[in-house]
Amino acid sequence: MSIVKVIEVIASSEKSFDDAIQNAVAEVSKTIKNIDSVYVKDFKCHVKDQKIATYGVICKVSFRVEN
């Protein structure tokens, strides 16, 4: 039986929501192995001068705990 742990992370990008999610996975991957899935809990944008400045995501990252 494997154990799965879930952590919540916040990431951002100046390009897109997709890039923000990729940034979240890249950062988590630096310290966490065996990532199984990413659930995007929420999206948000910061606006500056009537234009989107940054895209943000709140993600739940699931990974298997090694025995």
Domain ranges of the chain: 3-65
Domain 3-65, classified CATH 3.30.420.40, yes or no: no
**pLDDT per residue as tens digits for the range 23-58:** 999 999 999 999 999 999 999 999 999 999 999 999
In this structure, what token pair is assigned to residue 28?
Answer: 């988590």
pLDDT higher than 90, residue 67 = no
pLDDT higher than 80, residue 1 = no
In this structure, what token pair is assigned to residue 21?
Answer: 């999610």
Distance CA(55)–CA(67), nearest Å, equals 37
pLDDT at 2: 82
Full-model pTM: 0.88
